[in-house]
Structure 1
Amino acid sequence: MRTSAFITCAVTGSGQSHTKSDKVPVTPAEIARACIEAAEAGAAIAHCHVRDPGTGAPSRDPALYREVVERVRESGTDVILNLTAGMGGDIVLGSPEAPLPLNVDGTDLVGATERLVHVEELRPEICTLDCGTMNFAEADYVMTNTPGTLRAMARRIRDAGVKPEIEVFDLGHLWLARTLVEEGLIDDPVLIQLCMGIPFGASNDPNSLMAMVNNIPAGWTYSMFSIGRMQLPYVAQAVLAGGNVRVGLEDNIWLEKGIKASNGDLVERAATILSAMNVTLQGPAEVREMLNLRRPA
């Protein structure tokens, strides 16, 4: 069990949660305010996607990321920004009987360089690296991250001086993460996020979780989360399993039955759970030192 831990708040994500709760931030101004709110509630890290301000659909537009980053930094709020690099690896097949041509409405498949334009321009302290391909919940959607693409992305992230947070959805992803580290494409200290309970990756039961934890190399720093109603129970589960914590509206829109949450609400509840377990919250400065992060200018 950890006696001190940090909280990451994933403030918006790329799914359809904005159609289910008006508390999910959509515009750059709303996303930036959510990052600030999360930091004030105790989060050391804010994990950001961006959305089309008009429709709420997921976006890769570097200008939207720039606005979020500038608004947070101009506010003077001390929070570590973690920008997603997951967009651009989406394949949606046409149908089970006619997979080709691909469904153009959902497919967003681009090269490693294009997926990292915003990261190389803005140089956040952290960006994500989804470490594998996966049948991801929907019938014909595949989250696509080949070893070749990941090697190319890891190299560019390293050269930009950004710390990758390796997103691990199943044991094979952890194997690939170890391979990237062994090949010198990811530097120590290594940071990973265990993403539990997402169909059809690793389920969020304790046995599956500990199978993942028991395969994490010594010296790596890890966080974990689950989705929906299991998000808040996983706050306790995370530190009991030696990890750090992630909450936020990307993964869950409820504070409790019938009560929709804000990002600040979820961070405050996570902090309360940790305090009741005598776990000390780590702030941004402590996390920067632990992970050897390059602080932005």
Structure 2
Amino acid sequence: MNQDVIITCAVTGAADTADRSPHVPVTPKEIADAAIEAWNAGAAIAHMHVRDPETKQCSRRLDLYAEVCERLRAADCDVIINLTAGMGGDLYIGPEENPTAFCPETDLVGGLERLVHIEELKPEICTLDCGSVNFGDSNLVYISTPDMLRKAAARIQQLDVTVELEIFDTGNLWFALQMMKEGLINDNAMFQLCQGIPWGTPPELSLLKGMVDMLPANSNWTAFALGRKQLPWAAQSTLLGGHVRVGLEDNLYLGKGEFATNGQLVERAVNIVENMGSRILSPNEARQKLRLRGTQ
């Protein structure tokens, strides 16, 4: 069991959830405020996407990321900034009779173009989605090829940004380990084991244990599951030696029919972990644990 636990709060994601809950943050101010709320509740890391304030849909706009970071860095808040670098991989296949007529929702760019905001803003952590996967029941495929991943991993390493390896299936983990063998991923990388996203890894404990057994010794890792399994996974991850991720990116509810805030989800996770006898790490303790930039 992990005795010293880092809590990440994923405050807003890429999914079309902003109209499903009144608490999903949309504007840069709302996203920064959500990160501060999560930090006040006990989160050491805030993982963030940004959204277009007009459409409420996910965005890759540098100015939106810049405003979020500026607000957090100007606040009396030492939360670790973790920015997604996963946007730009959405390929919507066309209809059966013409699959190469990609739908207008497609947002597909190369691996390096997905890092424009990382290059400019230099967060302490950014994500790298470690493989392609079917997303949901439509024609959406998330594209992240070995060529794209190798280029992006090398650039993130050059920027001295710690990488969080997003693992949506066992093949993603296999390739992440291959990149480590090739020297493209540093040994302080974080592994994020993502379960319950159709059609990646199902939220089954046997599969979580199997992936944990594949990890290098002494790795820092977290597991999360979507929806009502989010909070049970906080316990399961801790029991198996990992850290914890909660937040409105992955789950909108505190209980049946009760919308959660990011702060409430973090508070619940803190209670779970502490009642198991483990300790919650502060942001500065997490920086030391993860050997983030400037702490090695």
TM, length-normalised to structure 2: 0.98
**Rounded Cα–Cα distance in structure 1 between residues aligned with 2:172 and 2:110:** 20
In the TM superposition, what are the counterparts of 1:35-46 in structure 2 within 5 Å? Answer: 35-46=35-46
* Aligned residue identity for 1:114: E
Matched, 1:84 2:84: yes
| Alpha-carbon contact 1:85-1:128 (below 8 Å) kept | yes
Q: Does 1:198 align with 2:205?
A: no
Residue 232 of structure 2 aligns with which residue? 233
> What residue number does 1:187 align with?
186
What secondary structure sits across from 2:200 in the alignment? coil
Output the amino acid matched with 1:102. F
Deviates more, 1:115-124 or 1:210-219: 210-219
Q: Which amino acid aligns with 2:182?
A: E
The residue aligned with 1:48 is 48
Task: Give me the whole-angstrom Cα distance separating, in 2, the residues matched to 1:113 and 1:200.
Answer: 26
User: What residue number does 1:32 align with?
Assistant: 32
Cα distance in 2 between the residues matched to 1:243 and 1:203: 18
Give yes or no for the alignment of 1:61 onto 2:67: no
- Determine the C-alpha separation between the residues in 2 that align with 1:294 and 1:152: 21
1:132 aligns with 2:146: no
Which residue in the other structure is 1:145 paired with? Answer: 144
Mark the CA change 1:172 to 1:29 in structure 2 (over 3 Å): closer, same or farther.
Answer: same
Paired with 1:37 and 1:132, the residues of 2 have a C-alpha distance of: 32
Q: Are the counterparts in 1 of residues 83 and 126 from structure 2 also a CA contact under 8 Å?
A: yes
Name the amino acid aligned to 1:280: R
Q: CA contact under 8 A between 1:96 and 1:140: conserved in structure 2?
A: no
Whole-angstrom CA distance in 1 between matches of 2:191 and 2:36: 23
- Contact 2:12-2:247 within 8 A present in 1 as well: yes
Q: Deviations over 1:91-143 (max 9, x none)?
A: 00012332121002x21011122110000100000000000000111310001
Amino acid at match of 2:113: E
> How far apart are the structure 2 equivalents of 1:20 and 1:232?
20
* Shift of residue 195, structure 1, vs aligned partner: 0.1
Cα distance in structure 2, aligned partners of 1:191 and 1:232: 20
- The question of whether the paired residues in 1 share the 8 Å contact of 2:195 and 2:202 is answered with yes
1:276-287 matched pairs, under 5 angstroms: 276-287=275-286
SS at match of 2:12: coil
Answer whether contact 2:135 2:141 (CA < 8 A) is retained.
yes
Asked if the contact 1:127–1:163 (Cα under 8 Å) also holds between the matched residues in 2, the reply is yes
Give me the TM-score of the superposition, normalised by structure 1.
0.97
User: Is the 1:137–1:198 Cα contact (8 Å) retained in structure 2?
Assistant: yes
Contact residue 95 and residue 101 of structure 2 kept, 8 A: no
**1:11 corresponds to which residue?**
11
Alignment map for 1:244-259 (pairs within 5 Å): 244-259=243-258
Across the aligned residues of Structure 1 and Structure 2, the Cα RMSD in angstroms comes to 1.1
- Mark the runs of 5 or more structure 2 residues left unpaired by the alignment: none
Structure 1 runs (4+) deviating above 3 angstroms are: none
1:127 aligned partner, one-letter code? C
Corresponding letter in the other structure for 1:26: V
2:264 is aligned to 265
Once the two structures are superposed, residues 127-164 of structure 1 have per-residue CA deviations (whole angstroms, 9 ceiling, x without a partner) of 00000000111310001000000000001111111001
Q: Which amino acid aligns with 2:291?
A: N
Which residue number corresponds to residue 103 of structure 1? 103
Q: CA deviation at 1:295?
A: 5.3
SS of structure 1 residue aligned to 2:228: helix
5+ residue gaps, structure 1: none
8 A Cα contact 2:112 2:148, kept in partner:
no
In the other structure, the counterpart of 1:243 is 242
1:93 alignment partner in structure 2: 93
CA distance in 2 between counterparts of 1:196 and 1:188 reads 23
Work out the number of aligned pairs and report it: 295
Relative to structure 1, the CA distance from residue 276 to residue 291 in structure 2 (aligned partners, 3 Å threshold; closer, same or farther) is same
C-alpha separation in 2, matches of 1:128 and 1:204: 21
Hey, what's the Cα distance between the residues in 2 that align with 1:280 and 1:8? 14
| Structure 1 equivalent of residue 288 of structure 2 | 289
CA contact (8 A) 1:197 1:226 kept: yes
